[in-house]
Amino acid sequence: MTYYKKSLTEIKKLFDGILHLYFYHRGVSMKWALYIPYRNNIGNLHGDLKEIITKIPAHELNTIKELFGEINFNQLYFGQEFCERILPKKKDIIDALNFAHSNNMQFTFITPYVTETGLIKLQQLFIELVKIKSDCEIVINDWGVLYLIFNEFPSFTPILGRLLNKMWRDPRIKSYLKGKNSDKILKTYQGCGLAAPGMKKLLNKFNIKRIEIDNLIHGVNENISDWGYQISMYVPYGCITTGRMCILGSWGLEKKDKFKATSKFCSQQCRFYSLNLYDQNKEVKNTKDWEIIQKGNTIFYKQLEPMLKNGLTQAGSLGVDRIIYQFDPI
Does position 196 interact with other proteins (CB under 8 A)? The reply is: yes
Residue type, 69: G
Does position 110 interact with other proteins (CB under 8 A)? The reply is: no
Q: How many CB atoms lie within 10 A of CB 88?
A: 21
Query: Minimal distance in Å, beta carbon 32 to other proteins?
Result: 24
Q: Is the peptide bond before 112 cis (omega within 30 degrees of 0)?
A: no
Measure Cα distances from 3 to 8, 10, 98, 151 in Å: 9, 10, 53, 66
Applying CB under 8 A, which of residues 49, 61, 94, 195 lies at the interface with other proteins? Answer: 195
Rg over CA atoms, the chain: 20
Site string for other proteins, 270-309 (x = CB under 8 A): -xxxxxxxxxxx--x-------x-x--x-x----------
Considering the complex, state which of residue 39 and residue 210 has its C-beta at the smaller distance from other proteins: 39
Does position 252 interact with other proteins (CB under 8 A)? The reply is: yes
| SS3 label, residue 30 | coil
Query: Minimal distance in Å, beta carbon 277 to other proteins?
Result: 4
Applying CB under 8 A, which of residues 170, 286, 305, 327 lies at the interface with other proteins? Answer: 170
Considering the complex, state which of residue 88 and residue 118 has its C-beta at the smaller distance from other proteins: 118
Does position 131 interact with other proteins (CB under 8 A)? The reply is: no
Considering the complex, state which of residue 22 and residue 251 has its C-beta at the smaller distance from other proteins: 251
Which residue from 325, 225, 324, 319 is spatially nearest to 22, judged by alpha carbons?
319
Query: Minimal distance in Å, beta carbon 87 to other proteins?
Result: 14
Does position 267 interact with other proteins (CB under 8 A)? The reply is: yes
Applying CB under 8 A, which of residues 72, 74, 115, 230 lies at the interface with other proteins? Answer: 115
| SS3 label, residue 218 | coil
Does position 127 interact with other proteins (CB under 8 A)? The reply is: no
Considering the complex, state which of residue 27 and residue 198 has its C-beta at the smaller distance from other proteins: 198
Binding residues for other proteins, total number by CB under 8 A: 79
- Beta-carbon contacts of 299 under 8 Å, excluding residues fewer than 6 positions away, are 239, 240, 241, 242, 277, 292, 293
DSSP string, 187-202: HHHT--GGGSHHHHHH
Q: How far apart are CA 313 and CA 220, in angstroms?
A: 11
Exposed e or buried b per residue across 236-245, where buried means at least 16 C-beta atoms within 10 angstroms of its C-beta = bbbbbebebe
Does position 215 interact with other proteins (CB under 8 A)? The reply is: no
Query: Minimal distance in Å, beta carbon 10 to other proteins?
Result: 38
Q: What is the DSSP letter of 57?
A: -
Instruction: Give me the sign of the Cα torsion angle 308, 313, 316, 320.
Output: negative
Considering the complex, state which of residue 68 and residue 82 has its C-beta at the smaller distance from other proteins: 82
Does position 56 interact with other proteins (CB under 8 A)? The reply is: no
Q: How far apart are CA 93 and CA 72, in angstroms?
A: 22
Give me the torsion for CA of 85, 90, 94, 99, rounded to 10°: -20
Phi-psi region of 129 (alpha: psi -120 to 50; beta: other; left: phi over 0): alpha
Does position 204 interact with other proteins (CB under 8 A)? The reply is: no
Applying CB under 8 A, which of residues 124, 207, 241, 287 lies at the interface with other proteins? Answer: 241
Does position 116 interact with other proteins (CB under 8 A)? The reply is: yes
Does position 224 interact with other proteins (CB under 8 A)? The reply is: no
Which residue from 265, 243, 262, 271 is spatially nearest to 252, judged by alpha carbons?
265
Does position 188 interact with other proteins (CB under 8 A)? The reply is: yes
Does position 243 interact with other proteins (CB under 8 A)? The reply is: yes
Applying CB under 8 A, which of residues 119, 219, 230, 317 lies at the interface with other proteins? Answer: 119
Does position 177 interact with other proteins (CB under 8 A)? The reply is: yes
